[in-house]
Amino acid sequence: MTDVVTAGISLRHGGVSRAPYTSLNLAEHVGDDESAVAANRDMLFQQANLKNLHYCCQIHSASVIDIDNGAGTIPEDPPEADALVSTDRETALGIFTADCVPIFILDHATPAIGIAHAGWRGTFARIAVNTLAQMKASFGTLATNCQIHLGPSIQKCCYTVSTELLDQFAERFGSTVHDGKNLSLQDANLNQLVEAGLPPTSISVSPLCTACRTDLFYSHRAENGRTGRMLSFIQLNAGS
């Protein structure tokens, strides 16, 4: 993005977790050794210079939390939601993925940030647009002031779903979101954001497919559900 924010996604290398979580697994809920996850988090937070990390207990919903109301205090039990928004410079926002689409939002003007976890359920429920709507309600964010990135996630090449689901997505987001067999979560998110007023030129999409590239990423589908999670993070830089 720009020097206003620090944002990124971890790869699966360089950590201490053992198979099937090899090796930089950052999520506690997948069955990995807790001390390995803690060590991995310490490494990443130091390298990326992340401050207080807020994350949620992800439930494939379209729920968004504005964390500015308790900023600085990290709840012991993360709240159930799939997106977070903030204007606080002391806070990093994070979501975990292994195929789902991480959506990074920067409102340059305010400045404010958001991050969302969009699998097929969240995408279908328009979590990207909901996150923007929460930023508008909380901070006055305008879509035209935003830059959005859809990070590495499972792409159309590998995402075969039922005909019924393809039809539901086509009805909601347009026939271009599938090829008759496979679904593009990227296009479904892109189309809903453009419909919400984002200029297409303000949205970038990673071409990397997590299921094709298990050398770099965790993939829930390619690894039959037994794998780790990457962390996507975004943080406003001090003085921005």
Q: Name the nearest CA neighbour of 153 among 205, 101, 190.
A: 101
User: In angstroms, rounded to a whole number, what is the distance separating the alpha carbons of residues 143 and 44?
Assistant: 31
- 205 contributes a contact to Zn ion by CB under 5 A: no
3-state secondary structure of 224: coil
> Which of these segments, 39-47, 64-72, 163-171, 204-212, binds Zn ion (CB under 5 A)?
204-212
Contacts to Zn ion from residues 157-176, by CB under 5 A: 157-158
Is residue 209 a contact point for Zn ion (CB under 5 A)? yes
| Distance in Å, CB of 157 to Zn ion, minimum | 4
Rank residues 116 and 209 by Cβ distance to Zn ion and give the closer one: 209
Q: Binding-site residue total for Zn ion (CB under 5 A)?
A: 6
Sheet holding 52-54, edge to edge: 5-9, 230-236, 91-97, 52-54
Per CB under 5 A, 185 contacts Zn ion: no
Contact status: 50 vs Zn ion (CB under 5 A): no
Residue 181 in the binding site for Zn ion (CB under 5 A): no
Q: Put the strands of the sheet holding 203-205 in their side by side order.
A: 64-66, 83-86, 112-118, 101-107, 146-150, 203-205
Our finding on whether 101 is near Zn ion (CB under 5 A) is: no
| Residue 158 beta carbon to Zn ion: minimum distance, rounded to whole angstroms | 3
Question: Rounded CA gap, 166 and 120, in Å?
Answer: 11
